[in-house]
Structure 1
């Protein structure tokens, strides 16, 4: 599976099922009908794609959307959630994080506090485990920690080192002037309070 096939699968999943749980079930079922190598490659593609979202600009956008309360874990799950928005929305957001303001999923969050988001929560942690679950279904092995699966992912990755840390330059999203300049639409939709 290459990135093109990965995104085709994500887009097909978006058309086939509504809601994260239904999409996960569809993906798990689809992946579990594929060869083990493709399941591992799906995870490798997911890791590669989500690394593209690890930028200071997107971290600031997430911080803004979360009302100043975006933990490191929240940001990781936010990147996975962005994958679920589809290839076009994901690509636009990586190039211009303020483009998230155009997505229906973010528009639904505007004017609401994170306490009321419920199923609209902008995070999708379980997407990171769907390939592992499919792998376990195919092998029939109860590899609870995923040792065999993650070893296969590392072997497939080979010498390619996954970079650590966020790309770009860090800036303070609580600086209203800077935030309004860098993320004008998100700043208007999700103003940070002084105590955030």
Structure 2
């Protein structure tokens, strides 16, 4: 589908333009605001489509391990956007096999370091990608919060928090996680006994 190809071209074009998250956001907003309004709506729809594909319990478990055991529903929502920001090829590979995150350079450089020591731009979190289309839409139409209505007219409900529809597969058990995701388990070993579930709901 042309709109899907265009979405990924924009995401990857922002990465080619600059490696700083804020710079990428500005680049995306400027490019979208130079397009017709329906194409801004397309971008929002495609982002939500990608989020839904990444909305699985195994991927949530992988994100939680990388983030030191802290990955709320909001945190996973932001992680999904960050995963999109890695580009189409990486996104497809990781959605198919979350253990492939162990091959991603942006993940590997976090290994062996406390999340408290990560720089802001290193965090596997790109919350603001979700606001790019809203900002461009408002710039074009002068209608604050108008994008939701345009997206809704296409039968899409935006901004839903993660709710994996698949089976959590016992991934809160460290032994199960290690069998399922051996490379991630090796990169991010547990410091001690794990408590709580893979799908925390308290905001971290």
Q: TM-score, normalised by structure 2?
A: 0.87
Q: Per-residue CA shift, 1:114-136, capped at 9, x if unaligned?
A: 10112201111100000000111
Give the count of matched residue pairs: 190
Residue of structure 1 in register with 2:141 after alignment: 139
SS in structure 1 at match of 2:154: helix
Q: Is 1:63–1:173's contact at 8 Å kept on the other side of the alignment?
A: no
Measured against aligned partners, the alpha-carbon deviations of 1:110-167 in whole angstroms (never above 9, x if no partner) come to 11111011220111110000000011111234x1xx1x210001102369xx897203
Q: Does 1:84 align with 2:79?
A: no
Gapped runs of 5+ residues in structure 1? none
For structure 2, the 5+ residue unaligned runs are 196-204
Q: CA deviation at 1:172?
A: 3.8
**Cα drift, residue 34 of structure 1:** 0.4
CA RMSD, aligned part only?
1.9
Report 1:140-179 matches (<5 A): 140-141=142-143, 143=144, 146=145, 148-157=146-155, 165-179=163-177
Q: 1:158 to 1:79 in 2, by over 3 A?
A: closer
Name the CA distance, whole Å, in 2 between partners of 1:26 and 1:89. Answer: 21
Q: Whole-Å Cα distance in 2 between the matches of residues 190 and 174 of structure 1? A: 15
> SS of 1:156's equivalent?
coil
Q: Distance in 1 between matches of 2:155 and 2:26?
A: 26
Asked if structure 2 preserves the Cα contact closer than 8 Å seen for 1:28 and 1:130, the reply is yes
4+ residue runs over 6 A deviation: none
User: 1:1-196, aligned counterparts within 5 Å?
Assistant: 2-118=3-119, 119-141=121-143, 143=144, 146=145, 148-157=146-155, 165-192=163-190, 193-195=192-194
TM-score w.r.t. length of structure 1: 0.91
Change beyond 3 A, Cα 1:76–1:70: same
